[in-house]
Amino acid sequence: QKEVEQNSGPLSVPEGAIASLNCTYSDRGSQSFFWYRQYSGKSPELIMFIYSNGDKEDGRFTAQLNKASQYVSLLIRDSQPSDSATYLCAVEGFLNYGGSQGNLIFGKGTKLSVKP
Amino acid sequence: SQTIHQWPATLVQPVGSPLSLECTVEGTSNPNLYWYRQAAGRGLQLLFYSVGIGQISSEVPQNLSASRPQDRQFILSSKKLLLSDSGFYLCAWSYSAGAEAFFGQGTRLTVV
């Protein structure tokens, strides 16, 4: 069973701090990794993707990937109350019933709360 | 630019009734299409995906079915809803397998 694991939280950080969200995955063959943000009652929206080991920065967001450790993380610098949401990690992988293509496997998400 | 439309936004249906949720994508051709379900306390579960017209793959056995009658139209159906079918249903599209997926606004289904 392919799995993507995230700490469910809630993770609470003060405004202006760095929020660190972590994700581990079981399929060593996965090549693509994604972070989505989901506000309560809304659909997920893509915020970052990463394919290569190392760091990828986009504004206040940094994604980090370590394929050897099967670990991907998201750092949010200068956290704002508007960043309060559930963050979903998604990993490309082949699902339980085989199939002919890799699809995105999602973790259950980490709920982030940024306190003013 | 590409857009995805999903409707209705909310739906309350009695047990045993049929279901039809529709999703359309604009601004791209031959997208991969997906139906996900998100139940309370659980992650996003992939239900169906399609790589082309009439081509449907099911990831989870259930009483739901999907169809793709046109290139950019994806339909989720059930003949008889169960209480356990309640959840947040999301349609999504991507350019290719394993690529980032873009979601519609979702349908919150409550089966009573």
| Cβ distance of B44 and A95 shorter than 8 Å | no
pLDDT at A95: 55
- Whether the CB of B43 is below 8 Å from some CB of chain A: the reply is yes
Closest CA to A103 of B84, B35, B20: B35
Amino acid at B21: L
User: What pLDDT is recorded for position B61?
Assistant: 66
pLDDT in tens, B1-15: 889 999 999 999 999
Q: Which residues pair with B31 in a beta bridge?
A: none
Mean pLDDT of all residues belonging to chain B = 93
B14 at the A interface (CB within 8 A)?
no
d(CA B100, CA B34): 12
Cβ(B63)–Cβ(B79) below 8 Å: yes
Q: How far apart are the first and last CA of chain A?
A: 40
Q: Which two tokens stand for residue B67?
A: 């169809």
B40 — contact with chain A (CB < 8 Å)? no
Count other Cβ atoms within 10 Å, centred on residue B2.
12
Number of residues written out for chain B? 112
Across the range A80-84, mean pLDDT stands at 98
- Does residue A83 register a pLDDT over 90? yes
Q: How far is A97 from chain B (nearest CA, A)?
A: 6
% of chain B with per-residue pLDDT over 90: 80
Q: Give percent of chain A above pLDDT 90.
A: 78
Q: Rounded CA gap, B36 and A74, in Å?
A: 23
- Please, what is the average pLDDT of chain A? 91
pLDDT of A45 higher than 60: yes
Mutating which of A31, A92, A103, A111 best tests the B interface, going by the most B Cβ atoms within 10 A?
Answer: A103
Task: Test A32 with B99 for CB contact under 8 angstroms.
Answer: yes
Eight-state DSSP code of residue A1: -
Taking CA–CA distances from A101, the nearest residue in chain B reads: B97
Mean pLDDT score, B76-90: 96
| Identity of the residue numbered B14 | P
Query: Contact at 8 Å (CB) between A50 and A33?
Result: yes
CB of A96 less than 8 A from some CB of B: yes
Tokens 């409707």 label which residue? B7
